[in-house]
Amino acid sequence: MILVDANQIAISHLMVRHKIENGIHIESVRKSIIKVLARIHRRFREEYGDLVLCYDSKNYWRREIFPFYKRNRKQEREKSKYNWDEVFSVLNTIRDEIKDHFPYQVIQVDSAEADDVIASLVHKTSESPEPTLILSADKDFIQLHKFDFVKQYDPIKNKWITHENPVQFLQEHIIKGDRSDGIPNILTCDDAIVTGKAQKKMSKEKITSLASMNPQDFTNFIRLRNWKRNSQLIDLEQIPEEVVNKILVTYETTTTPDCISIDYFISNNIQDIIEEFS
């Protein structure tokens, strides 16, 4: 199974086309995304099997328990040169076209992110392991490397992502937080990143020391409270059961076309890339 962080790949290709063409043109973005998916599948299908395209939903369950989750991204987008409504409109159109015309599973579940979809399917696969490839540059997935059947490849930089100690990585990640998602380190208050407050500094030695401890042994209540906050947001084993169940039901009931639609290529004037699917 090849689990694709589809939003990440789609946005990266749209940004490249935007830079080259000085604007968003669905024709070239469509061609670029479909072409890269074909190449990914052709390269890895013999060892890992079918593509599963995992998408974020518009709503996040994490925001329900932590209102500041990814709010900094919204602020950054409001200052961005990109028209994000147009970006998502184009990408959603292409997503729906892929779902209707290609033999790839497209999984998007309300309140879940692509991370949740990928993690839920990995945990389900652990019951009967089979070679599984995560296609994403996101290092959050290193925690899933604890499963021997999981590998990760960065399709943007074209390199494998590895880590010698995925369990320690997760512990340190929880301690450090995740600035890109608006999650402060465990010494810092909830709204620090969103409001621009300075986070309390942590040395590498301090992070290593805390990672070696049982969080229940923390003497500072605030530190323990913030550990639990970050753990719930970062540890992919803490996805709510109802979200996991929705993801698995969607995966098991989603049907796909038996083969690619030649008419789709012709109608969108991209028949020159059909050979990518050989």
Residues 189 and 132 in one domain: no
- Answer whether residue 97 is part of any domain: yes
Q: Both 206 and 227 in a single domain?
A: yes
**Statement to judge: residues 58 and 134 lie in one domain:** yes
Let me know whether 222 and 131 are in one domain: no
What are the φ and ψ backbone dihedral angles of 51, each rounded to 5 degrees? -85, 135
Residue 264 has pLDDT above 80, yes or no: yes
- pLDDT attached to residue 206: 86
Sequence-separated (6 or more) residues with CB below 8 Å from residue 184: 177, 190, 192, 193, 199, 226
Predicted local confidence at residue 21, as pLDDT:
84
Task: With respect to residue 247, please indicate whether it lies within any of the assigned structural domains.
Answer: no
Within-domain flag for 277: no
Q: What is the pLDDT of residue 82?
A: 79
- Asked whether residue 229 is assigned to any structural domain, the reply reads yes
Task: Judge whether 245 lies within some domain.
Answer: no
Q: What pLDDT is stored for residue 84 in this prediction?
A: 85
The mean predicted confidence, pLDDT, of the chain is 92
* Lowest-confidence region among 20-24, 57-61, 237-241, 252-256: 20-24
**DSSP-based three-state secondary structure for 147:** coil
41-50, 85-94, 206-215: segment of lowest average pLDDT = 206-215
Q: Are residues 81 and 189 in the same domain?
A: no
42 pLDDT higher than 90: yes
Give the model's confidence band at 112: pLDDT under 50 very low, under 70 low, under 90 confident, else very high. Answer: very high
**45 located within any domain:** yes
For residues 56-69, give the mean pLDDT. 93
Q: Which of 84-88, 210-214, 248-252 has the lowest mean pLDDT?
A: 210-214
Claim to verify: residue 159 and residue 90 sit in the same structural domain:
yes
Residue 81 shares a structural domain with residue 217: no
51 lies in the same domain as 62: yes
- Please tell me the total count of domains within the chain: 2
User: Which amino acid is located at 93 in the chain?
Assistant: T
10, 91 contact by CB (below 8 A):
yes
* pTM for this model (two decimals): 0.93
Q: What pLDDT is attached to residue 223?
A: 86
Q: Is the CB of residue 197 less than 8 Å from the CB of residue 191?
A: yes
Do 151 and 267 share a domain, yes or no? yes
Q: Within a 10 A sphere around the Cβ of 261, how many other Cβ atoms? A: 14
d(CA 140, CA 79): 26
Residues 202, 102, single domain; the answer is no
Query: For residue 239, how many C-alpha atoms fall within 13 Å in the half-sphere facing its CB?
Result: 23
Least confident of 34-48, 161-175, 200-214, 228-242: 200-214
| Average pLDDT for 149-160 | 95
Instruction: Over range 256-273, report the average pLDDT.
Output: 89
**181 within domain boundaries:** yes
Neighbours of 185 (CB within 10 A): 24
Instruction: Mark whether 137 and 267 lie in a shared domain.
Output: yes
Spatial distance between the Cα atoms of 174 and 159, rounded to a whole number of angstroms: 25
Segment 236-257 mean pLDDT: 95
Residue 210 is encoded by which pair of tokens? 């805390």
Domain range for residue 137? 2-163+254-271
- Say what percent of the chain tops pLDDT 70: 100
Q: Tell me if 101 is assigned to some domain.
A: yes
- The 3-state DSSP class for residue 114 equals helix
Kindly provide the b/e burial profile for residues 67-103, where b requires at least 16 CB atoms within 10 angstroms of the residue's own CB. Answer: ebbbbbeeeeeeeeeeeeeebbebbeebbebbbebbe
Q: Clarify whether residues 170 and 152 are in a common domain.
A: no
CATH number, domain of 201, equals: 1.10.150.20
